[in-house]
Structure 1
Amino acid sequence: MRLKALIEAALFVSEKPLTIESLQQLLAHQQPQEPIQEPIQEQALLLSKAEIRVIVNDLIADYQQRGIELVKVASGYRFQAKAQFSQALTVIFQEKAPKYSRAFLETLALIAYKQPITRAEIEAIRGVSVSSHIMKTLVEHHWIKNLGQKEVPGRPSLYGTTKVFLDHFSLSSLAELPVLTKLDEKQLS
């Protein structure tokens, strides 16, 4: 029970998602604090990633009927408020979500669905040029990164999304992106 509580506390206070490996490392470095507590180090060293995953899955189940949830994202596991309460929470947390232009969101969507993709390919699909400001902002948010150069004359940069992008949108992989309808696919082609 103490191991589960320690994992829960670590996930709760962490500012970023924690991986199974980081939780395993945390448990392996624990020293008994008081003689009446169970010796956590000996027990923790024996825990495999699968055993830690069982504890994390148990925590996920524990939080299903609560206002917060433990979710798996690309970078690991994190606690977050359930989406159904986001509107109500804005009453006391006045921070407004940033508003992004349609061009910004279209560019991000094209990179997410068509990666790796060049800036010229984005411009060809959208029919207009992509502003340097949009690309710079996406890179500054760490939502996209340069994946290398395309092997064509001029060697243009190839762009793709990052784990930060997946974490921000609560995705554990690109496979969780919403499925495009045939109409959407035609617009992206």
Structure 2
Amino acid sequence: MTKTETSLFAAPPMAEQERMVEAMLFASAAPLSLRDMEARMPHGCDAAEALAYLRRRYEGRGVNVVRVGDAWAFRTAPDLGFLMSHETVEQKKLSRAAIETLAIVAYHQPVTRAEIEEIRGVAVSRGTVDQLLELGWIRFGRRRMTPGRPVTFVVTETFLDHFGLETARDLPGLKELRQAGLLDNRPMPGMDAEDDDDGDETGQTEMFEE
């Protein structure tokens, strides 16, 4: 390959790549993965490196570049969330059945309907699962390689994004949820009493409020 051919395919300067990543994240209605961004950028670009520069540039600003599952997005700085309170829409409270089902999926994923019912001790209505699917907080996972190949459920990036979590591993412990008044003192289905002391403090104490 000649120098002329090389120059034709040279990647843009890193500052320009950073601007590209910034523009894509700003314009996207949903978080973008590195693969999504790199597929839109010119040949030879390094979306991961450009993103690293962009994250540093936005540290301490009113908006930050945050990870949402395997993707990235602009989000309001956590300490400034109170300024957005006037934009809050009417909230619908989930039933206890929906809260328990969501908690089981979040803490036990991937989990089948039969496993959810076994943990809860009661049948799970189709309406409860449909409500969580419509909210976009759970989705269908891979089918189990067992007789009947039952489908599993897992939480979504929308769920993680809504509650400010990077991954399901960042879920608060039951102790934090109860201290915040979001759960009563009855053991949650599938959780032993000693599990109350497990889990890192993440500050996401609004977990099952809505």
TM-score, scaled relative to structure 1: 0.72
Change (3 A) 1:83 1:96: farther
What is the one-letter code of the residue matched to 1:53?
A
Hey, what does 1:126 align to over in structure 2? 120
Secondary structure of the 1:147 match is coil
Q: For residues 133 and 150 of structure 1, do their structure 2 counterparts lie closer, same or farther at Cα, with a shift above 3 Å needed?
A: farther
1:165-184 equivalences under 5 Å are 165-179=159-173
How far apart are the structure 1 equivalents of 2:49 and 2:99? 37
CA distance in 1, matches of 2:68, 2:167: 8
Q: Give the equivalent residue in structure 2 for 1:160.
A: 154
Tell me if structure 2 keeps the 8 A contact 1:111–1:161. Answer: yes
Q: Is the 8 A contact 1:144 1:165 kept in 2?
A: no
Distance 1:55 1:124, change over 3 A: same
Gaps of 5+ in 2: 1-14, 176-186, 196-210
Change (3 A) 1:73 1:141: same
Deviations 1:126-179 (A, max 9, x none): 233322211111222332215325725x66543233344334434343333335
Letter in 2 for 1:46: G
Structure 1 residues 71-104: Cα deviation after superposition (integer angstroms, max 9, x where no partner)? 011241100112322233112x142344322321
Whose relative contact order is higher, 1 or 2, with alpha carbons under 8 Å and at least 6 apart?
Answer: 1
Please name the residue that 1:46 is paired with.
44
Residue 201 (structure 2) aligns with: none
Indicate conservation of the 8 Å contact 1:116/1:159, yes or no: yes
Q: What does residue 179 of structure 2 align with?
A: none
Check conservation: 2:140, 2:151, Cα contact below 8 A. Answer: no
**2:23 matched to which residue of 1?**
9
- TM-aligned CA deviation for residue 108 of structure 1: 0.7
- TM-score scaled by length of structure 2: 0.66
Whole-Å Cα distance in 2 between the matches of residues 20 and 146 of structure 1?
A: 22
Asked whether the equivalents of residues 71 and 78 of structure 1 are also in contact (C-alpha less than 8 Å), the reply is yes
Structure-2 separation of matches of 1:159 and 1:76: 20
- Give aligned pairs, total: 166
- Whole-angstrom distance in 2 between the partners of 1:79 and 1:56: 12
- Stretch moving more, 66-75 or 82-91: 82-91
Provide Cα deviations, 1:48-67, integer angstroms capped at 9, x if missing partner: 3xxx2222122112222112
Give 1:72's aligned residue: 67
Tell me how large the CA RMSD over aligned residues is.
Answer: 2.7
Provide the secondary structure at the position in 2 that maps to 1:130: coil
